[in-house]
């Protein structure tokens, strides 16, 4: 059965790979992001795409976008809140303005779009809402203080929302990617807001983005509350949970890049 799937941050990286992964069975993929040219490139290789440029920090733009989707399609079956930005700066180097920017994009952007789409899902009685977190949403890590905080916040919000929706057929999932081979480190913000503009060595050796997208898609299909994708770094989630002392021992010795 064809579905309406809305993906933010769809112009590159995991968002683009997810669009490709869902390009089947007559699905309509709504592609959102700030760069229209990137969205057009992705749409060009999809069977049925709808381009909807959107800056998730703009609440009025979110309201207008949801109204457009409702008028055009009447529903959203899967919402994937993938838009986000990372950080590569010490706490002492990061301005408050940049910290707020990270929270606005990664946390408020995700939940504001979720809240705007939720009435459509409640009306149709079914749906999947996905928040894109990170392994840094499960534990803190150097050079990623505000990024980790924004991703930690997503877990609290989506867990609460999922429990509120327990008597419905609407499911929430939080995805925690580790090192995936994308440009996330290049686009990460330094303390002054400038782009990091460097590929982290660990990122360059990360999991292939198409493999990542396939695992995320499988987790969404299974309505998993949390979806972990990555390499050995995923073990740190379990170390933090079951042996915090071991987590701290290892974390202090890992190169943050």
| pLDDT given for residue 99 in this prediction | 98
| pLDDT given for residue 1 in this prediction | 72
Domain assignment present for 36: yes
Domain assignment present for 206: yes
| pLDDT given for residue 202 in this prediction | 87
Helix, strand, or coil (residue 91): helix
Question: 112 φ, ψ to 5°?
Answer: -65, -40
| Distance from C-alpha of 53 to C-alpha of 62, rounded to nearest angstrom | 10
| Distance from C-alpha of 228 to C-alpha of 232, rounded to nearest angstrom | 11
| pLDDT given for residue 40 in this prediction | 97
Domain assignment present for 181: yes
Beta bridge partners of 7: 31, 80
Report whether 49 contacts 32 (CB < 8 A): no
Report whether 51 contacts 101 (CB < 8 A): no
Q: Kindly tell me the sign of the dihedral angle through the C-alpha atoms of 4, 10, 13, 16.
A: positive
Q: For 90-130, how does the pLDDT look when each residue is reduced to its tens digit (9 = 90+)?
A: 999 999 999 999 999 999 999 999 999 999 999 999 999 99
Domain boundaries, position 79: 4-232
Q: For 17-75, how does the pLDDT look when each residue is reduced to its tens digit (9 = 90+)?
A: 999 999 999 999 999 999 999 999 999 999 999 999 999 999 999 999 999 999 999 99
Q: For 212-230, how does the pLDDT look when each residue is reduced to its tens digit (9 = 90+)?
A: 999 999 999 999 999 999 9
| pLDDT given for residue 83 in this prediction | 97
Domain assignment present for 244: no
Q: What is the CATH number of the domain that holds 106?
A: 3.40.50.720
Domain assignment present for 173: yes
Q: For 163-208, how does the pLDDT look when each residue is reduced to its tens digit (9 = 90+)?
A: 999 999 999 999 999 999 999 999 999 999 999 999 999 889 999 9
Mean pLDDT of 226-240: 96
Kindly tell me if the per-residue pLDDT of 257 is higher than 80.
no
| pLDDT given for residue 194 in this prediction | 95
How many CA atoms are closer than 13 Å to the CA of 236, on its beta-carbon side? 25
Mean pLDDT of 143-161: 98
Domain assignment present for 250: no
| pLDDT given for residue 10 in this prediction | 98
* Catalytic annotation present for 146: no
Kindly tell me if the per-residue pLDDT of 88 is higher than 80.
yes
Query: Which single residue is written with the structure tokens 């505000």?
Result: 146
Domain assignment present for 162: yes
> For residue 254, what pLDDT band results from cuts at 50, 70 and 90?
confident
Kindly tell me if the per-residue pLDDT of 253 is higher than 80.
yes
| pLDDT given for residue 50 in this prediction | 98
Q: How many domains does the chain have?
A: 1
Catalytic residue chosen out of the listed positions 22, 146, 147, 158: 147
| pLDDT given for residue 4 in this prediction | 98
Domain assignment present for 210: yes
| Distance from C-alpha of 33 to C-alpha of 42, rounded to nearest angstrom | 11
């Amino acid at each position: 059965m064809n579905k309406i799937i809305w993906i933010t941050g769809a112009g590159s990286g995991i968002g683009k790979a997810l669009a490709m992964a869902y390009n089947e069975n007559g699905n309509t993929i709504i592609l959102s992001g700030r760069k229209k040219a990137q969205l057009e490139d992705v749409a060009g290789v999809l069977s049925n795409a709808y381009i909807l440029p959107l800056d998730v920090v703009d609440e009025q733009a979110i309201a207008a976008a949801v109204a457009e989707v409702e008028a055009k399609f009447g529903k959203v079956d899967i919402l994937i809140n993938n838009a986000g930005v990372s950080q590569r700066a010490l706490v002492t180097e990061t301005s408050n303005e940049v910290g707020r920017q990270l929270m606005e994009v990664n946390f408020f952007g995700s939940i504001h779009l979720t809240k705007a789409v939720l009435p459509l899902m409640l009306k149709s009685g079914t749906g999947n809402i996905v928040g894109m977190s990170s392994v840094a949403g499960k534990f803190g890590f150097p050079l990623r203080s505000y990024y980790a905080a924004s991703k930690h916040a997503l877990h609290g919000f989506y867990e609460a929302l999922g429990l509120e929706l327990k008597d419905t057929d609407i499911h929430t999932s939080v995805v925690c990617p580790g090192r995936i081979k994308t440009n996330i480190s290049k686009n990460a913000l330094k303390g002054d807001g400038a782009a990091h503009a460097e590929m982290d060595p660990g990122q360059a050796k990360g999991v292939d983005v198409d493999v990542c997208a396939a695992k995320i898609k499988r987790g969404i299909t299974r309505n998993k509350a949390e979806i972990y994708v990555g390499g050995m770094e995923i073990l740190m989630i379990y170390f933090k949970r079951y042996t915090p002392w071991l987590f701290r021992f290892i974390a202090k010795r890992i190169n943050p890049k």
